[in-house]
């Protein structure tokens, strides 16, 4: 009786350690890759708990292999924006000025009932109050109401990588971006940690050296 007890305790503490290594996100805040790793870890760890004939190491080795892969991928996505976009996707704008973007909903395989439910959970019951709403990469809906100030800021440069799709959405070009960055004393996007702008012309700029 003691062997299953101690095996379960060992796996329990090892899984806690593994989850701590992954970070402190809540389940609802996990990116797709993190959620997959969490499900796989729980599935792999349950096998040696249920079958005493399976060596404990056969449960621990896969668990820590999965966590090592997740930590490595997380480190790579911090440095390489295209990989981050590929694994986590990008936020999708679904409402602007009270109008729902049907194509965006279809791309997310999200119906109107889902959208209205998410709005109600954010305390919004009148679609006309919404100035802007987008579905984040973790599946949650972010909402900006009309009376909450200026429009949303768009992330144009992240970790030295410009987003031409967002530039086009704002009606701007790569030449415009280059000109603006030069006004901040920057000649190359690689020097920029964060650059955001809204449609009213307000901007947020941060060099990489300022975040060191």
The predicted-structure confidence for 37-84, as pLDDT tens digits, reads as follows 777 777 777 777 777 777 777 777 877 787 788 788 878 887 787 877
The neighbouring-strand residues paired with 111 are none
Which DSSP symbol is given to 129? G
| Whole-angstrom Cα Rg for the chain | 22
Q: Which CATH class is domain 154-211?
A: alpha beta
Give the start-end residues of each E strand in the chain: 92-96, 99-100, 130-135, 141-145, 154-158, 161-162, 192-197, 203-207
Residue 209 has pLDDT above 70, yes or no: yes
Q: Where are the domains of the chain?
A: 2-87, 90-148, 154-211
3-state helix, strand and coil shares in percent for the chain, rounded to the nearest 5: 55, 15, 25
The pLDDT score that the predictor gives to residue 29 is 59
CA-CA distance, 58 to 80, in Å (whole number)?
Answer: 33
Does pLDDT of 212 surpass 60? Answer: no
pLDDT in tens, 140-189: 899 999 887 677 888 899 888 898 888 888 888 999 999 999 999 988 88
Stretch (H or E) spanning 71: helix 57-79
In CATH terms, the fold of domain 90-148 is CRO Repressor (3.30.240)
Contacts of 96 (CB under 8 A, 6+ apart): 131, 132
Instruction: Please report the pLDDT score of residue 22 as a whole number.
Output: 63
- When pLDDT is cut at 50, 70 and 90, the band that residue 4 belongs to is low
**pLDDT at residue 91 greater than cutoff 60:** yes
Examine domains 90-148 and 154-211 and report if their fold is the same. Answer: yes
pTM over 0.85: no
Average pLDDT of the chain? Answer: 81
Which range among 52-61, 86-95, 120-129, 165-174 shows the weakest confidence by mean pLDDT?
52-61
DSSP, collapsed to helix, strand or coil, labels residue 158 as strand
For the residues 180-199, what does the mean pLDDT come to?
90
Is the per-residue pLDDT at 120 higher than 90? Answer: yes
């Amino acid at each position: 009786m003691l062997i299953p007890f101690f095996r379960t305790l060992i796996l329990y503490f090892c899984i806690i350690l593994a989850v701590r290594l992954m970070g402190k996100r809540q389940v609802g805040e996990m990116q797709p890759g993190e959620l997959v790793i969490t499900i796989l870890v729980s599935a792999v760890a349950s096998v040696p708990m249920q079958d005493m004939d399976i060596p404990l190491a056969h449960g621990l080795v896969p668990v820590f292999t999965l966590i090592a892969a997740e930590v490595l991928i997380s480190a790579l996505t911090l440095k390489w924006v295209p990989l981050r976009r590929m694994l986590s996707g990008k936020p999708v704008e679904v409402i602007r000025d009270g109008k729902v973007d049907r194509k965006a909903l279809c791309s997310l395989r999200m119906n109107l009932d889902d959208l209205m439910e998410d709005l109600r959970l954010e305390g919004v019951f009148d679609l006309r109050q919404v100035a802007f709403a987008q579905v984040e990469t973790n599946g949650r809906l972010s909402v900006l109401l009309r009376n909450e100030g200026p429009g949303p800021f768009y992330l144009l440069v992240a970790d030295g990588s410009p987003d031409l799709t967002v530039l086009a959405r704002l009606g701007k070009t790569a030449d415009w971006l280059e000109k603006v960055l030069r006004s901040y004393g920057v000649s190359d996007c690689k020097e920029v940690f964060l650059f955001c702008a809204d449609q009213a012309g307000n901007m947020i700029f941060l060099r990489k050296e300022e975040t060191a």
